[in-house]
Structure 1
Amino acid sequence: MPKEARPRPKLEGVASAERVLTVLTAFRRGDDALELTELARRTDLVKSTIMRLCISLEKFGLIERLDDGRYRLGVEAARIGSVYQQSFALEERVVPVLERLAAESMETASFYIRRGNQRLCLFRADSPYPLRMNVRPGDMRPMDQSAIAQVLATFGDRTAPQTTPELPLYTSGITDPHVASLAMPVFGAGGRLIGALALSGPSSRLTSEQADLLAPRLRDAAERLSAELGAQT
């Protein structure tokens, strides 16, 4: 006779970030699912507190509660881990390209990936000018009509775009009325889109005329980076 699923306790109050992270980081390499007693031993938290914290973690897919009452890491934890591994592998190849682009163009160079209906700034090299973009690595921006978002949307689709836009894409005043950007797709093995390589700056400085001058440099950098990441030329 199968075990009946235990009722889930109600969540009352808001768990502190430190305690939530204490539970999440209690899982170790090789763990499958942990009993509540084992979580209590590893965290030095009382069982009732752990149960409340796990409800918060369940909501975000970071922990799953099995029918027998044990807990294991959820699919969102796996997704975050894969993002970290991807970022770590990309960093050694992408960051030198960004630093070189920023030095040569005098504008901010960045690398974006798509996360759902937003775009995530993964890496960035600042313009030497004091007037520059204030986006930092880890910041999210909308998937709007900016050049960066258009590149991610157009080339991130599994089906090839019906009409290939002229690259690099240039837009001005979309996300911010004072900011312009120039973007190119970066591909990996199998033609899979890895992300968008971009130059951004004040629209008063990164004009369409200036963008035309910088376009060959950005295009060359994106194509070389794609080749390094496994794309076939």
Structure 2
Amino acid sequence: MAGKGNRDSKADHPESSAAGASVVSRVADILRAFAEGGESASIKDLSHQLALAPSTLHRLLDQLVTAGLIERSAGRRYRISNEFSRIGALVARRAGVLRLARPVVQDVARETTETCMLGMLLPQTLTMMFVEKAPASAPVPYQIRMHHSRSLLWGATGLCLLAWLGQEAMERVLRRGDLSPLDGRTPPGSRELAERLAQIRAQGYALTCGEQTREAVGIAAPVFGANRRIVGDLCITLPRARFSDADESRLAGLLMRRAAALSRLNGHIPSPAHGGRE
């Protein structure tokens, strides 16, 4: 009888289900607006775009902030959180560049005997994370955190992405002031960073030692999408003790060739003026 009573209760109140569906639909619209929009949005922006009352938006946004999917930013604005970006990238693993990249990452790891990874740009937050990894026969004596948001200011994988994002993105990332994950150093100045990124673009890859992990060398080459925008990078990491100057051209050359091939599979058409690099 209890079970029947519960069923009757739900049947007698169809408006409860309708209200629940309405809330879910509104939340989906809000998340979609953030995913498709700019860096941040105000209550006024969202109210005009979604035709929702400001009071309703306040209530739903407060719940999304509590859930960790949206965060407050300066000037009474809101933006998507790192967690929202992380979830989106995890979902994207099942399709697109990530599916195409898996065999490439595995081939590079076999050919070099070093650990190869795919880094993915999170454009809304201007951060990155590793979404695919192929450990090789030569292990690394340090942990590599997967699906964890990382700054673009430190390490080869982040700098490689930042090098092809443009001046405005570089300034935005610098304004955040992400400190060194190793020793808390402050970021370089705008001019110094711009010169470093220009060098990365000129040579076609980034190389760093001990910026994200002590005594670890990172080498990364850019991966582009169909719109000629950078979407990620192909990278190798190995201990400094296993790396020599002679390895740089060999490993960087291999990464650039494989990253360029992966970009073509992803629909990228390189500009002839840049010799195949954007």
Percent same amino acid at aligned positions? Answer: 22
Higher helix share: 2
Residue pairs, 1:1-233, within 5 angstroms: 31-33=21-23, 57-60=64-67, 62=69, 82-89=88-95, 90-115=97-122, 116=125, 118-157=127-166, 163=198, 164-233=201-270
RMSD: 3.4
Q: Equivalent residue for 1:68?
A: none
Cα distance in 1, alignment partners of residues 250 and 69 from structure 2: 46
1:140 to 1:210, Cα distance in 2 relative to 1, 3 A: same
Cα distance in 2, alignment partners of residues 118 and 82 from structure 1: 13
TM-score by length of 2: 0.54
| Conserved 8 A contact 2:215-2:239 | yes
1:229 to 1:135, Cα distance in 2 relative to 1, 3 A: same
Q: Please give the per-residue CA displacement for 1:27-78, whole angstroms capped at 9, x wherever unaligned.
A: 9xx94316xxxxxxxxxxxxxxxxxxx9664434648xxxxxxxxxx97697
| Conserved 8 A contact 1:101-1:109 | yes
1:81 to 1:138, Cα distance in 2 relative to 1, 3 A: closer
1:113 to 1:157, Cα distance in 2 relative to 1, 3 A: farther
Amino acid at match of 2:23: A
Amino acid at match of 2:109: A
SS in 2 for 1:112: strand
What displacement does 1:167 show? 1.9
Segments of structure 1 that go 5 or more residues without pairing to the other structure are: 1-26, 35-53, 64-73
1:104 to 1:133, Cα distance in 2 relative to 1, 3 A: farther
Cα distance in 2, alignment partners of residues 59 and 136 from structure 1: 25
1:103 to 1:186, Cα distance in 2 relative to 1, 3 A: same
SS in 1 for 2:237: strand
Cα distance in 2, alignment partners of residues 174 and 62 from structure 1: 29
Cα distance in 1, alignment partners of residues 84 and 22 from structure 2: 13
SS in 1 for 2:93: helix
SS in 1 for 2:120: strand
What displacement does 1:170 show? 1.3
SS in 2 for 1:156: coil
What displacement does 1:198 show? 0.3
Q: Please give the per-residue CA displacement for 1:176-205, whole angstroms capped at 9, x wherever unaligned.
A: 231001110100111011101101110111
What displacement does 1:132 show? 4.5
